[in-house]
Chains A and B, each alone.
Chain A
Amino acid sequence: MKAVRILLKLILMALLAGHASLASAILTIEITQGVDGGLPIAIVPFDGAGKQQPPQDVAAVIEADLARSGRFTPLDKKFFVSRPSEDRQVVYKDWRIVKAEALVIGNVKPLAQGRWQVEFRLYDIYKEKQLAGYSYVVAGNHLRAVAHQISDIIYEKLTGEPGVFSTRIAYVTREGVVKRFSYKLQIADSDGHNPLNLWTSKEPILSPAWAPDGERLAYVSFEHQRRPTLYLQNVVNGARHRIAGFDGINSAPAWSPDGTKLALTLSRDGNPEIYVMRLSDSTLTRLTNHPAIDTEPSWSPDGKEIAFTSDRGGKPQIYRMRADGGKVERVTFEGEYNARASYSADGKMLTLVSGAQGRYHAALLHLHSSVLQVLTDTPLDESPSFAPNGRMILYATDRGGRGVLASVSSDGRVRQLLKLQEGDVREPAWSPFNRSTPTH
């Protein structure tokens, strides 16, 4: 368990457009445990090819992305014997010398009206062939987005799995002092950049959940009559409306995979029960009917079942039922406390909070074998969720008395922390794949 400590303190460079205000703080990522033996990859700094310096170092963003994944080991540039930026300049032998297995080259050229042309090529050094190559034309404030998209292509070509660098995360920050806290719902790029503030409140905000389209978030906010109330907000245009504000608890939103329904927890009948709301007409169907606490629903990716937390057996454990509420069965048996389950994209695993002896860890439950695999050793972990490719789990934890986000690869090998300069960050949720090309 050699801890490779790379501090990627990336500068605040928030070029935001649109409805929402510029967020005050940026999440920084610290890799607390990496792996040796990632695929050695050479990333040549992209040639600027002009007097004008691009506003983003595209190659540096790609390098940070690939290093953060733990699947790649970017090679030290000082050993490079050549620095190609065009296809014709590539000499494969130069890269075998430095033991690179893959090579990334590219260039960024200024065009008229503040636009840029980005070209990149990926090579397999041993097969001596190009694996991918693309050209993009974008505005300066989309260069980071292009870099993440290139990282996704490289990741997919070399690992066979989709990358998640172009995805986003949602989270809640809390700043200020006791009794004068300020809560914010924010979204940011998967590397913490471009934070966008969606909602600010003096009252707590909880449980953001991305719609499958990646354009809407459902979440809980207490500002209406100081009661947990459910809201839906469009992250593109900021439009927000209340979807459940009954007496009692209105919380724990979970989207159906087709995006037409929300599972949620309501206690309007006196006790927390799981309901499904059809979003087209707000019709509610009650799924559970039990005097115990039933909450934290999560929809399976095929839409056929819903996992949830219930203490009907005396302690909180994970159960699942058909999406119409039928055929309830308990799925966790190990540990005193298992809660807040959410499915992996392939439906084979749940990530959840598992507690024993007063310590609460992020864990994985393999549904087929019922094996519970604890992923962390920190005592106050909360709200784990899968990256859309299933490779990483993002959760909230405590570091030195402050709320931070952490991620761990599903094999437990790579770990990182995402934290704010000041204040707490919590309630993370990873967006679905968002592969929209930056607009021209």
Chain B
Amino acid sequence: MDKKLQLTILGIAALFLTACGGSEATKPDVEDKSVGTGTSADTGVSGRPLDARTDLLAKRRVYFAFDSSAVDEENRAIVEAHAAYLAANKNIKVVFEGHADERGTREYNLALGERRAQAVERMAKILGLTGDRIKTVSYGEEKPVAMDHSEAAWALNRRVEIIY
């Protein structure tokens, strides 16, 4: 399982490197002296630093401002990365699961969560994903990831989870 995931990540990395082309792709790998990473004679473990862009695929959550379903630049990059991956892996189906923070009413938040999931869906469709591979659901404010009642918690809870 882990191995498969690793391969996929490498695959995507490659995809992006080719897709993006240019200087970034040809940059030499960054030397990393931190323990357990990079090529180290001390540990005998050989790791391969990944291009920064592939980190986007590790991000499975897209965040939103209060009462908004607008996807900003930073979050757009995450959706684009997943859309590119899914475009290359046509057998995978994806669920966009919309959520809201606890403020306001539960029913309105259910609708808001759906609107957020649909915003991500729309973006993914523009990037080439077909509707039959996408499912959107909303949990409204019912499934927070951060349980306290603070701005920081609310920011984490206003999200769309990209599940595949």
Alpha-carbon gap, A296 to B97, bound state (A): 21
A-binding segment of B23-31, B47-55, B103-111: B103-111
List residues 128-142 of chain B with CB under 8 A from any CB of chain A: 136-140, 142
B107 touching A207, Cβ below 8 Å: yes
Interface string of A310-326 (1 = CB under 8 A from B): 01000110000000000
A295 touching B108, Cβ below 8 Å: yes
A-binding segment of B5-13, B80-88, B143-151: B143-151
Distance to closest chain A CB from B142 (angstroms): 4
List residues 358-388 of chain A with CB under 8 A from any CB of chain B: 358, 360, 379-380, 382-383
Q: Which residue of A lies closest to B95 (CB)?
A: A226
Interface string of B108-131 (1 = CB under 8 A from A): 101110110010000000000000
A427 at interface, CB cutoff 8 A: yes
Partner of B139, one of A222, A315, A379, A380: A222
Alpha-carbon gap, A316 to B142, bound state (A): 19
For B107, what are the chain A residues with a Cβ–Cβ distance below 8 Å?
206-207, 251-252, 265, 295-296, 309, 339-340
| Number of B residues with CB within 8 Å of any CB on chain A | 25
B147 touching A340, Cβ below 8 Å: no
Distance to closest chain A CB from B87 (angstroms): 23
Q: Which residue of A lies closest to B102 (CB)?
A: A380
A249 at interface, CB cutoff 8 A: yes
Partner of B108, one of A228, A340, A401, A427: A340
Partner of B111, one of A178, A272, A355, A358: A272
Alpha-carbon gap, A204 to B140, bound state (A): 10
For A252, what are the chain B residues with a Cβ–Cβ distance below 8 Å?
107
Distance to closest chain A CB from B63 (angstroms): 17
| Number of A residues with CB within 8 Å of any CB on chain B | 37
A233 at interface, CB cutoff 8 A: no
A249 touching B110, Cβ below 8 Å: yes
What is the predominant secondary structure among interface residues of chain B facing chain A?
A: mixed
Alpha-carbon gap, A152 to B142, bound state (A): 37
For B118, what are the chain A residues with a Cβ–Cβ distance below 8 Å?
270
For A267, what are the chain B residues with a Cβ–Cβ distance below 8 Å?
111, 114
Distance to closest chain A CB from B119 (angstroms): 12
For A380, what are the chain B residues with a Cβ–Cβ distance below 8 Å?
102-103, 149
Distance to closest chain B CB from A363 (angstroms): 12
Q: Which residue of B lies closest to A337 (CB)?
A: B104
Distance to closest chain B CB from A425 (angstroms): 14
B111 touching A293, Cβ below 8 Å: yes
Distance to closest chain B CB from A53 (angstroms): 45
The residue in B66, B67, B111 that gathers the most chain A C-beta atoms within 10 A of its C-beta is: B111
Q: Which residue of A lies closest to B66 (CB)?
A: A358
List residues 232-254 of chain A with CB under 8 A from any CB of chain B: 248-249, 251-252
A382 touching B112, Cβ below 8 Å: no
Q: Which residue of B lies closest to A381 (CB)?
A: B105
A143 at interface, CB cutoff 8 A: no
Partner of B112, one of A293, A353, A398: A293
Binding site for B on A (CB under 8 A): 178, 204, 206-207, 222, 226-228, 248-249, 251-252, 265, 267, 270, 272, 293, 295-296, 309, 311, 315-316, 337, 339-340, 353, 355, 358, 360, 379-380, 382-383, 398, 401, 427
15 A-B residue pairs with CB within 8 Å = A204-B142, A206-B107, A206-B110, A206-B140, A227-B137, A248-B136, A249-B110, A249-B138, A267-B111, A272-B111, A293-B115, A339-B105, A353-B104, A360-B104, A401-B149
Can you add 5 more A-B contacts, CB < 8 Å, to A226-B137, A227-B137, A382-B106? A228-B140, A251-B110, A360-B104, A380-B102, A401-B149
